[in-house]
A and B are shown apart, each in its own frame.
Chain A
Amino acid sequence: MTAQRIKKYAYRDRPLRRALEPLAYLAPFLAAIAVFTLYPVINVVLMSFKEGYQMLTGRFDQVGAANYAYVINDRYFINALQNTSIYVAVVVPLSTVLSILIANLLNRKVKGMAFFQTAYFMPMVTSVTAAGLAWKFMFSRDFGVINQILSWFGVGKINWLQAPEWSLWALIIYGVWSILPFTIILMLSGLQNIDETHYVAARVDGAKSARIFFRITVPMLAPTIGLVLTINTISTSKVFNEIFPLFNGRPGPSYNLYTVVYYIYDQFYIKWKFGRAAAAAMILFLIIFAITMLQQVIQRKWSH
């Protein structure tokens, strides 16, 4: 029997086996997904419709949309949506632009680059909380290095962490810093996929750095930029961890800095309103989902 005939026998004569075999290999993985991802997700969906739900007893009053109604009328939730939107709208573009510029610098073969590379990747290897505490000192009104630097430019003392109108900006600055290294790594890998000869060709033709950057580097980096926008939009929409160390475990100096995930946390763990927390989580999920889809559509159009 030739090899070809063996193959035919195995695959054509046993369609059922052909269909099920891969499934068998995947089974352990699929089971883990089902237990650790699928089940909780379904649970959240169900929970969001249960009014007066008690986590411990599993009891609830009735099924309905009351949790949603409460959440979208809650002043704190609206505030959380606003804060999160501003945070995403500033951090994502800012970190994208900065990471392209920094990755471009890091991509050069210059002596001493190793030092800068380490410096830029510091945030990745320090814990959010420890780094957050360090930033708390840097943001300090009277002794912070940030106000110190600003004072050289004639900017008066800013009460970053205590003044409600500044606290969101402190959070944004810290957010950009903490998201940058991962973003830079993605950009660097994108840059390294661009063949050196493209630059040589342009340089021989007399192109200056700015033109090379805008006409060659950025367009050739477009797929990476698209990926970064998507990933960072999703991750910044979930801003939460960054808040604790900066504001002593409160959502801003005067409870003004709720974010959507902070609101969910607050409803779930502090107020024990499990149904409202689930409803808020569903709303966040739908918003992120819609934005991501929109991004995909735009990017697809853009790249053709």
Chain B
Amino acid sequence: MKVEMRGLTKHFGSTVAVEDFTVTLEDGQLTSILGPSGCGKSTVLNLLAGIVPVTRGQILFDAEEVTGLPPELRGIGLVFQNYSLYPHMTVLGNISFPLEIKKVPRAQREERARNMAKLVHVDNLLHRKPRELSGGQQQRVAIARALVKNPKLLLLDEPLSNLDARLRLEMREEIRRIQQETQVTTVFVTHDQEEAMSISDKIVLMNAGHLQQEDEPQRLYNEPRNQFVADFLGTPPINHLPGQMKGGVFTMEGGQASFPFLRGTDAPEGRPLILAVRAESAHVPEQDEDGLFSAAVESIYAMGKEVLGYFGIGGHSFRCYLEGDMLPRPGTELPIAFRERGTFLFDKETGERLL
């Protein structure tokens, strides 16, 4: 089902939870809503579900307006962060409860519940109570319960945040598999960028109630529209070098270093700017290559296959991956060069991307 949100706005009293949010979700896709805590992700989900009324704007399901429709008429399945399984019902009872409400005859609803249980791999646990299940199993049951009435839209609100790291990896692949098997249009709310990057067809990135960018994961990472997007994505976080343009050359604050840009820029001279460089886009050049500036090693973190160096430059910390066999001592001055990809220029005040 195609879902359109047009100028969707939600205020709680004087709190602006969501403001002028316009996004389209394509049929059969898995879209993540990503953003920091309190940015309005759950609110968007609840607006889609019809649990909270909208302040302004429209929601369309397959071009049909559903803005005022109560939740039970929207054909949605909902999965909560804490699963919210009914503790007094068995797994089978939980999964078939939505059908019980719809007055589907017992034999039929148990048959469908069993099929659902098979899909999410809990068919061997049908007669257990939720408290006798692990977190991952409860999660699977919650998904089965949400899917059993064949919803046109599946909404998941931070479904993995109560699981430990390993289970989280397993369950996100499971959610992807289940989504692809059922082809149900899915919205997945998370504040974990890695989760969103690995699971989604499309990511909708929000901040403070406003849409920042909607794109395929890789494009979001490679072509951020503003500084917030660039900052939010990537581990370690993107490096910031403040400065301004002088004669077509970016000059760092305090004049410690300046570098000519590979791509031409018409960024205004004299305005405060931020040069943002991903850690993997900076490197220590080979001998025959020139560095853009040199910086002193502050500390080195060897993390398995990668070595991350922390450098100090003009009072700023700068993170950069090093070649595997290189372990410089702290205090060593090393040259550093940037690659064009993963290097962006932002207006410091507006956050707007200039290059």
List residues of A whose CB falls within 8 A of some B CB. 195, 197-198, 200-207, 211, 215-216, 219-220, 222
Contacts and interface: CB of A to CB of B under 8 A. Distances in A.
Contacts of A204: 49-51, 71-72, 76, 78
Contact of B86 (A198, A206, A211, A222): A198
Contacts of A220: 86-88
Contacts of B87: 220
A150 B102 CA distance: 42
Interface string B45-65: 000011100000000000000
A69 to B, nearest CB: 49
10 contacts: A195-B82, A197-B82, A200-B51, A200-B78, A202-B97, A204-B51, A204-B72, A205-B149, A206-B101, A207-B101
Contacts of A202: 97, 101
Contacts of B76: 204
Given A201-B78, A207-B101, 7 more contacts: A197-B82, A200-B51, A203-B51, A205-B72, A205-B102, A206-B72, A220-B88
Contacts of A215: 97
Interface string B73-91: 0001010101010111000
A205 B70 CA distance: 11
Interface of B: 49-51, 71-72, 76, 78, 80, 82, 84, 86-88, 97-98, 101-102, 145, 149
B130 to A, nearest CB: 11
A235 to B, nearest CB: 28
Contact of B102 (A198, A200, A206): A206
B51 A195 contact: no
Q: Name which of B86, B102, B145 has the most chain A CB atoms within 10 A of its CB.
A: B86
Contacts of A195: 82, 84
Nearest to B50: A204
A200 B142 CA distance: 14
A200 to B, nearest CB: 6
Contacts of A200: 51, 78, 80, 84
Contacts of B98: 205-206
Contacts of B145: 201
A222 B88 CA distance: 10
A-B CB proximity, top 8 nearest: A206-B72, A205-B98, A197-B84, A219-B88, A204-B71, A197-B80, A207-B101, A206-B101
A216 B84 CA distance: 11
A204 B76 CA distance: 8
Contact of A211 (B51, B78, B101): B101
B97 to A, nearest CB: 7
Contacts of B88: 219-220, 222
A111 to B, nearest CB: 15
Contacts of B149: 205
Nearest to B71: A204
Q: Name which of B49, B50, B80, B82 has the most chain A CB atoms within 10 A of its CB.
A: B80
Nearest to B83: A197
A98 to B, nearest CB: 23
A207 B78 CA distance: 14
Contact of B71 (A203, A219, A222): A203
A203 B72 contact: yes
Contacts of A206: 72, 98, 101-102
Contacts of B71: 203-204
A219 B97 CA distance: 14
Nearest to A216: B86
Q: Name which of A202, A205, A211, A220 has the most chain B CB atoms within 10 A of its CB.
A: A205
Contacts of A207: 101
Nearest to B148: A205
A74 to B, nearest CB: 47
A205 B98 CA distance: 5
Contacts of A198: 84, 86
A108 to B, nearest CB: 16
Nearest to A212: B101
